[in-house]
Structure formats: C-alpha cells, structure tokens
Amino acid sequence: MSGRAWGVLAVLCGAIFLEGIDVAMLNVALPSIRAELGLSTGMLSGVVSAYVLGYGGFVLLGGRAADLLGRRRMFLFWLTVFLVFSGLGGFATTGWMLLTARFVTGVAAAFLAPAGLSLITTNFAEGRVRDKALMFYAGVAAGGFSLGMVVGGLLTAFGWRWVFFVPVLVSAVLLVAAFALVRDSGVPQRVRGCFDLLGALGVTGAMLLLVYGVVRLEHPGDGPALTVATFLAGAAVLALFIANERRATAPLVRLGILRSASLVRTNLVAVLFIGSFMGFQFLATLYFQELRGWSTVQTGLAMAVLGLDAVLAPLLTPWFVRKFGNVRVILGGAVIAALAYALFLPTDLDRAYLAMLPTMLLLAIAFALVYGPLTIAGTDDIAAEEHGLAGGLLYTAIQFGAALGISVVTAVNVAAVDAGKVGMDGLRTALIVPVVAAVLAGVIAATGLRRSAVRVTEAAPEQLVHT
C-alpha cells in the first residue's frame, strides 16, 4: 500500500470511528443534558432514538445512493452535514433542537457509512490488500463502539456540549483531507434511466416504522397495541416496497442480491452479535452507575478494556482469516462472546472489578474476531457496482441489531422489575438476553461451515484441488 493509500484509509477510518463513537458518547452525557436542559424522560429517550430512527430509516437508501450518485460525492456531502448538525446539537438550548440535530446526524451517518465502506472495497485490490484495509477499517469502527463511553465520560467531565463539539473538529479535519486524497472508483456516477423514487420512499418509510417499533419495545407498558400496529404498518409498507421493486425497470434495490446465502447469513449474524454487545454495554452501564454508584469517568474506565479490539482487529484478525477463513473466525468470536456474557451473570454488588475483567477481555477479543470479517463477508460474491447496496444492508443490520439489543434488554429488565425482581435480580434476568443472542449468532455462523462442506463434497476433483 502506498502512502496515499494509507492516507485514504486513515480518512475513511476516521469517519467510521466518528459514527461508532457518536452514540456511546451521548449515552454517557444524558444525565448532564437532562440536568441542564430540564428534559423529561420521554424527551431524553427520544434524543437517543432520533439518531437510531434517522440511521435505520435511511441507511439502505444511502447505500444505493452511493452506487448510483457517486461514492466520493456522497461521502463528502454527508460528512459536511454530519459536521454541521453535530455542531447544532452542541448549541442546543431546547429538547426539540437537540432531537432534530440528532435525527439529521443519524441520516448523515446513514449515507456516510455505506459510502465509506464501498470506497474501501472499490479502491483497494481484491485479496490481501483489501482484506488488510477492511480489517483496519473494522478495527477502528469497533474501537469507536467500545471507546465511546470512555471518551464520552472524560468529555462530559468538562461539559456535555464537548460530546458534540469534538466530532465537529474531527469532521473538519477529515473533510479537508478527504477532498485532497479520496477519489471515486470507476463505477458510473450517473443514474441510468429513471430514479426509483417510489422505492426510495417505500424503503425509507418501512425502515422508519420498523425501527420505531423496536424503540417502542423499551416501554412495554406504554401502549403495546401501538407498538404492534407500528410493526404491522412497517411490514405492510415493506411488502409494498418489495412489490414495487419487482415491477420497477430501474429498482432501487435489486432483490436478487438477497439470493446470496453469504450476504443473508452475514446480516443475521450482525443483527444478533451487535444486539448482544450493545444490550450488554447498556446493562453494564446501569450496573456500574445506578447500582454501584460509579461516576461516568469511572464507568468509562471500567469499560476501557473493550477498546483493545481496535488494536487486536488489524493485528491478529487478518492472520486468523487467512488461516481459518471468515466463517470459522466469526463462529469463534460468537462463542467467545457467549462465554463472556455467561461469566458476567453471577455478578453482584460486592464483586471486585478484577473478577469482571475476564468478561471485558473476552468481549474485546470477540468483537475483534467478528466485526472485521463481517465487513468482508458482507460484500462476498457481490458485484462491485452493488457494494454500496451491500454495505447499506450490512449497516442496516448493525443499526437494527443495536436498537433491538438495547430495546429488548430494557423491556426484559422492566418486566422483571414489575414481577418483583429488583436491583441485581432484574439485571441478571436481562443479562440472559445477550447470552441467547450470541449463541444464536454462533448457530447461524455455523451453517456457513455446513454449506462450505457441502460445496466441497459436491465439487469436481479439479475444483477440490482449488478449494
């Protein structure tokens, strides 16, 4: 890789780091935001949900827009939008101002993330070079997920507005570097034929409704009928979208891409694995801050070990992938994650941090093993002109997983408390959810091994030599 190639990789990694760290930093700052702006619990929850709604509602459209309108163009434009509205969040004086800023920031991330991933897959040659670039990319993204609480805790100590202002400064530096370094691939940048406007509205409406339904799971006693109706409406709009895509001459989403077993399996694993990780992180935050009474800085430092995945992913994961293949590495990471969550189950209010450290270390290893290979598997067997769409599907799965994980553990925790299980008893009940999700992720990943074995068994002798 040339010096310029490393520069391009640094810019794209910086953008995905911002996307990964954004939500985690805000979560740590929420109590301070509530205290200064006087927000209700509903508005505070809405501030978090607004980003998820914007991201989940538009990420599939963002992936296809990168393919049709130009990856570099989309990356630069939406990085600018991310910068502007992150700054607006820092200047917010009312809940609605903050909520609007978070929603638009989520939309910007929805277009930014798949454009960045497709720039990686189309600017680096297939094989070791691309895998190396993807591992660095995924490692930095994983570091954003893991280090967000640490950075957020430190910044909140100086004032919650720095949680928004620091991303503005980083975005400005990345934007200048991107203009100078990032070039588009040879993929056509003009929409051929008419743009599928109906498809764009349909997929966005369906994603918004489904994500909103997931967010509503956090409040199981607050109008369950509306939650069910939201899911049904989302499913109905999704069905109309699929019907439109079958008839459209230039569909926004080519439905044939879903015939790729590797792509479908990768996205299911992403939903379950990310859901388990984000659900556990949320419960661990409640445990440290609300049950143990630790400060935001102490909580951040307790979770800092998770940031080791940013080091492990680019250094160790490429070697494991070359030696054992994507599927085996993903399966191993899912198994390690399930073990890590199970080790945390006996935790009580008097448990020493050293006794919890194995869980944090194992999770760092698990995330390093899974996240990078998922980004590679997400575009396996997919034509270069559809890498933006494939990236959009993967980030849709990741965002749905994050929303689903937090919402389900919250709903289970609330139900457990309502049933009389308070404090650690309620938390332990909710901690079962990440264990089950990680096990299911491992089971789905293992089906890839069975498929590979079938292909090898049925292959011709000359193909067996290659395999």
> Mean pLDDT, to the nearest integer, of 382-395?
78
Distances, alpha carbon 437 to alpha carbons 279, 307, 432, in Å:
10, 22, 9
Residue 457's pLDDT is what?
42
Q: Give the pLDDT of residue 42.
A: 60
pLDDT-derived band of residue 220, with 50, 70 and 90 as boundaries? Answer: low
Which tokens belong to 133? 């670039």
Q: What's the pLDDT tens digit per position in 409-419?
A: 888 888 888 88
Q: Which tokens belong to 369?
A: 């093993």
Q: Tell me, what's the pLDDT at 69?
A: 81
Confidence tier at 1 by pLDDT (50, 70, 90): low
Among 329, 318, 403, 393, which Cα is nearest to 118's?
A: 393
Query: What is the predicted pLDDT for the residue at 463?
Result: 39
Question: pLDDT tens-digit profile of 52-90?
Answer: 778 877 887 887 788 778 888 899 999 999 999 999 999
The number of residues in the chain equals 467
Expressed in angstroms, the distance from the first to the final Cα of the chain is 28
Q: How confident is the model at residue 454 (pLDDT cuts 50, 70, 90)?
A: very low
pLDDT at 363: 92
Helix or strand holding residue 130 (H, E): helix 128-158
Please enumerate in sequence order all residues whose Cβ is within 8 A of that of 2, keeping only pairs 6 or more positions apart, or say none: none
- Could you give the CA distance from residue 95 to residue 108 in angstroms, rounded to a whole number? 20
pLDDT at 465: 37
Please enumerate in sequence order all residues whose Cβ is within 8 A of that of 193, keeping only pairs 6 or more positions apart, or say none. 249, 250
User: What value does the mean pLDDT of the chain take?
Assistant: 81
Mean pLDDT of 305-318: 78
With a cut of 50, say whether residue 196 has pLDDT above it. yes
Whole-model pTM? 0.80
Do the beta carbons of residue 434 and residue 341 sit within 8 Å?
yes
Q: What is the mean pLDDT of residues 5-28?
A: 82
Give the per-residue pLDDT at 467: 32
